[in-house]
Amino acid sequence: MIAVIVVNYRRAADTVECLDSLLRVTAPAFDIFLVDNGSSAADVAQLRDYVARHPERIHFTEFPQNLGFTGAHNRLFERWVPSNRYEFFLLVNNDAVVEPDFLEHMLARLDPSQQVAMVAARVMKYADRSQIDNLGITFYKCGLASNRKSPDDPLLGPSGNCALYTAELLRDIHQATGEYFDEHFFCYAEDTDLAWRAVLLGYRAAYAEDALVYHKGSISSGGPNSDFVLYHGIRNSLFVLVKDIPTRFLLGNLFWMVVLHVAILLRYTIKGKLGVVARLYRDFARGIPKMRRKRQPIQQQRQIPPREIRRRISRLFYERGYALGALRDLY
Give the tens place of pLDDT for each residue, 295-324.
999 999 999 998 899 999 999 999 877 656
What does residue 162 show for φ and ψ, rounded to 5 degrees? -160, 100
What are the boundaries of each domain within the chain?
1-331
User: What is the CA angle 92-215-56, rounded to 5?
Assistant: 35
pLDDT tens column, 24-64: 998 899 999 999 999 999 999 999 999 999 999 999 999 99
What is the pTM assigned to this prediction?
A: 0.95
Average pLDDT estimate for 142-153: 96
Rounded to whole angstroms, the maximal C-alpha distance in the chain is 56
pLDDT, position 39: 96
Average pLDDT estimate for 137-156: 97
Alpha carbon distance 189, 84 (integer Å): 27
Alpha carbon distance 290, 57 (integer Å): 40
pLDDT tens column, 249-302: 999 999 999 999 999 999 999 999 999 999 999 999 999 999 999 999 999 999
**Cis peptide, bond prior to residue 28, ω within 30 of zero:** yes
**Chain mean position to CA 237:** 12
Helix (H, G, I), strand (E, B) or coil at 111: strand
pLDDT tens column, 224-242: 678 999 999 999 999 999 9
Alpha carbon distance 206, 303 (integer Å): 19
pLDDT, position 319: 87
Average pLDDT estimate for 61-77: 97
Name which of 181, 228, 203 is nearest 7 in CA terms: 181
Alpha carbon distance 87, 85 (integer Å): 7
pLDDT, position 26: 84
DSSP string, 200-264: HTT-EEEEEEEEEEEE--STTTT-TTSHHHHHHHHHHHHHHHHHHS-HHHHHHTHHHHHHHHHHH
Average pLDDT estimate for 65-83: 97
Q: Which residues contact 157 (CB under 8 A, 6 or more apart)?
A: 118, 120, 136, 137, 163, 191, 192, 194, 195, 196, 198, 199, 205
Q: How far apart are the first and last CA of the chain?
A: 52
Residue 100 confidence (pLDDT) above 60: yes
- 46-55, 84-93, 170-179, 262-271: range with lowest mean pLDDT: 262-271
Split at pLDDT 50, 70, 90, the class of 328 is: low
Alpha carbon distance 114, 95 (integer Å): 32
pLDDT, position 141: 95
Average pLDDT estimate for 163-168: 98
Alpha carbon distance 159, 95 (integer Å): 14
Architecture of domain 1-331: Alpha-Beta Complex (3.90)
Split at pLDDT 50, 70, 90, the class of 118 is: very high
Element (DSSP H or E) covering residue 166: strand 162-166
